Each structure stands twice: as C-alpha cells, then as structure tokens.
Amino acid sequence: MKTKPYHHGDLRAELIRVGLEHLARGPASLLSLREIARDAGVSPTAVYRHFPDKQALEAELCRAGGQQFGAAMAEAQSKAENRPGPRLVASGRAYVRFALANPSLFRLMMTTASREDPFTRDEANQSSGFLLLRRTIAELAGPDAGTNEQRLKAVHAWATVHGLAMLMLDGQIPANEAIIDGVLGDNLAL
Amino acid sequence: MKTKPYHHGDLRAELIRVGLEHLARGPASLLSLREIARDAGVSPTAVYRHFPDKQALEAELCRAGGQQFGAAMAEAQSKAENRPGPRLVASGRAYVRFALANPSLFRLMMTTASREDPFTRDEANQSSGFLLLRRTIAELAGPDAGTNEQRLKAVHAWATVHGLAMLMLDGQIPANEAIIDGVLGDNLAL
DNA sequence: TGTACATCAGTGAACGCGCGTTCACTGATGTAC
DNA sequence: TGTACATCAGTGAACGCGCGTTCACTGATGTAC
C-alpha cells in the first residue's frame, strides 16, 4: 500500500537528483529533459507534471547547486581560523574546489544567473555561495565597508578566484592544488 | 570572366567572415553550419568543400579570433607607457575589453582550446593573445623569471583579468569601465 | 462498510523542428593536344 | 585556334537523429456519502 500509481516516491526530487547526476557526468549543453526522464524511469511527459518546462527544471538544478555551493563555502569557513584573512582564503579555496568538483553545474549556475531577474531578492537562491563570499569580503573591510575602494577589493578577490576556477575548468592551466594554494595564499589576503 | 561556377570569391574566407558575424550576434551554442551556409548564399554541402566538418570550421573561427585578440593586445601595449607595470595593466584592460566586445567568440576560444592537442606548438594559433599576456607578465619578472613565485604571480594576474571578464560576461557584475580600471589599476601592478 | 466519484500523476503516440552529414550529380573552368 | 577532357566547387534531395512539447488518455488513489 501507499504506493503511488506508477512511480514510487517524490518524482520531482528524483528528477533533480538525476539531473545533478547528469551534470556531474557531462556538459550542461547536453542536458536533456528526455534523458533525465528516461533515467528516472519515467516518460518525458511526466516531467511536465512537476515543472512547466525544461528551463524551470534547470533553474531548480541551479538552486540545488547554489545550496550545495553555499554549504561547501560555509563548512570551509567554519574550519578556518577565525580571522578575516584566513577565512577569505578558505572561502576562495572552497570556491575553486567546488567549481572543479562540479564543472557543468558550476557553469550552468554562472550562465543561468544572468538570465534571471537580476533584482530577485530570494537570497536562498542560486547565488548563496556568492553572497557568502561577498559577505566574507565585506567583513574584511571592517568599518570602511561600502567604500568604493572596498568594493573594488571585493570584486578583485572574486575575480581572482573565479578566474582561477574558470581557467582550470577550461584546461588553460593545470587543476592543481599547489597552484590554488599558491595564488590564494600569497595574494588574496587584501 | 574569372567568375567561379556559382559562388564568387573565396568561399572559405566568406564562411569564416559570416561565422564571426554570427558569433557577434548570438551564443556559440546556436552556431549552425547550415545557417552559416545559408547566410553565405550557399548550400550546406558547399561547406564540406572547405572544411572536413563543423568542428574544423569552429576551430578556424577560433584561430581568426585568436589573431584579432592578439592584435588588440599588441595595439594596447604599443600605446601604453613603455614600462612593465603600465604595459601589463594595458594588456589586462585589452583582455577584458576584447571579451566584452566579443562574448561568444571569447567563450568559444576558451572552451575550444581545451579540446585541442595541448602541446600543439602553433604559436600563431588561437592562444596568441594569452601568449602575449604571459610574455608581458614574464617581462615583469626580469631576472627571476621562471621562478615558482613568478609563475604564481603570472597565474594570479591572468586569473584576475580572466575572472573579471567572465563575471562581466555572465552578468554577475556590471560591465563597467570604472570597475575594470579600478581593479586593474589598483591591484594588477605586481 | 460499501460505493460513486473527483483528482491528478502518470502513459504513449505524435508534432514539427533544425541539425550535421552523405550521396550522386552537374556544369563551368583551365589545360593538353 | 579548336576541341576533348580532367578537375572540382558547387547543387538538391535525403538520411537519421534527438530534441522539447502537446494531446487525449488511463487508472490508482483518497474522499464524501
């Protein structure tokens, strides 16, 4: 008893799980609604019971990714020495590591974010990882937060970790722990 | 006289021209061999007289992009004050500006590079812009070039400009000249 | 406790689409005699 | 100078593909009486 008609359990959650699994294996450009449905053991049509269209499914994958990202960042920070400098470095390292561990998901999160309503105030959303990074950067500033100079420093730090992540994802530089540590450790302390 | 059968002029060059035009207008993921052929006023099949397949056409677009990129970098450097610091900043600015001016081409160059034979020694190839940046960074080092520390500084600078470019392309931060100048001017001088 | 019924998560067939690529071909060109 | 011919850049029809999405439907569920 308690069995649902054809599918058992929460199909919506299962579709997201399978979707993330696919992103872990291949590029986001090959992410296919039909294939996700197939792997979830369900007809393509069934997806439309849970998401209005493919784009909505992708948005949900980004949301899930954002949560994972935020959790990874938070954990890294909690393990770091409780001073702004080390915390920032720990955040940066977590940022790059997450990107390397989830290449397609990370890319999807990045490119999808720009398609969304830019002034969406749903902070639990896909950008929670970025917000965490920004908050950490803001902490570093102390009283002069909000200064123009401070904002530039924040962007600089973000650009550095993001660039490091992207160059490694694109195979332009080796995805090497020593390089990550070298760049972040020596240079990121503002 | 001198007219070719159906098409007039160098179709190969025309296809590349049209391809770059398409990249200037839309994302690389929507780049279609058929559409390029259509806009070149030629049947899809004709493309195969000049390129073995679509991937080869794309590679050629990247090569063309690499040349434009390199030229932009070189010009920016030639206009800069002839000291390592200002030249590096000028390079970085040109790097970001090229990315902003050619979003899809820049992305294609980045993601395609990793698919190629990594130890290809064709330096006139798609990475000429990167080589120029790296060379400039190397100049900065002077006698201690090749040091581990020097290499890290180079990666750091590259990551910063690249990250800045990507964040702006993805709409994560405003594509703002003031931000570019602020980040590069204050922080990039190693 | 038994029965009629609304709900709604699933089904499978079908749609139109544009893609990259292959095929056998055509017909203008320039060249060798 | 005229003619036979090889070359080869183009043609248009067709291939199989997988995609996202729509459609009318089915049948198990839980609920109201």
CA dist., res. B65 & res. A166, Å (int): 19
pTM beyond 0.75: the answer is yes
The pLDDT, as a whole number, for residue A128 is 60
Three-state DSSP class for B107?
helix
Q: Are the beta carbons of A155 and B113 separated by less than 8 Å? A: no
Question: 10 Å Cβ neighbour count for A114?
Answer: 12
CA dist., res. A185 & res. B77, Å (int): 30
pLDDT digits (tens, 9 = 90+) for B53-105: 999 999 999 999 999 999 999 999 999 998 888 989 999 999 999 999 999 99
| A11 pLDDT above the threshold of 60 | yes
Average pLDDT over chain A, rounded to an integer: 85
Minimal Cβ distance to B114: which of A155, A156, A170: A170
Alpha-carbon distance A78 to nearest alpha carbon in chain B (angstroms): 26
State which residue of chain B sits closest to A187, comparing Cα positions.
Answer: B156
pLDDT digits (tens, 9 = 90+) for B122-176: 444 445 667 777 777 777 666 666 778 888 888 999 999 999 999 999 999 999 9
CB crowding B151-184: b at 16 or more within 10 Å, else e: bbbbbbbbbbbbbbbbbbbbebbebeeebbebbb
CA dist., res. B127 & res. A134, Å (int): 32
Minimal Cβ distance to B186: which of A111, A152, A167: A152
Mean of the pLDDT values across residues A105-127? 66
Kindly list the distances between the CA atom of residue A141 and the CA atoms of A149, A150, B23, in Å, as whole numbers in the listed order. 10, 6, 41
Q: Are the beta carbons of A155 and B173 separated by less than 8 Å? A: yes
DSSP, residue by residue, B12-68: HHHHHHHHHHHHHHS-GGG--HHHHHHHTTS-GGGGGGT-SSHHHHHHHHHHHHHHH
pLDDT band at B31 (very low <50, low <70, confident <90, very high): very high
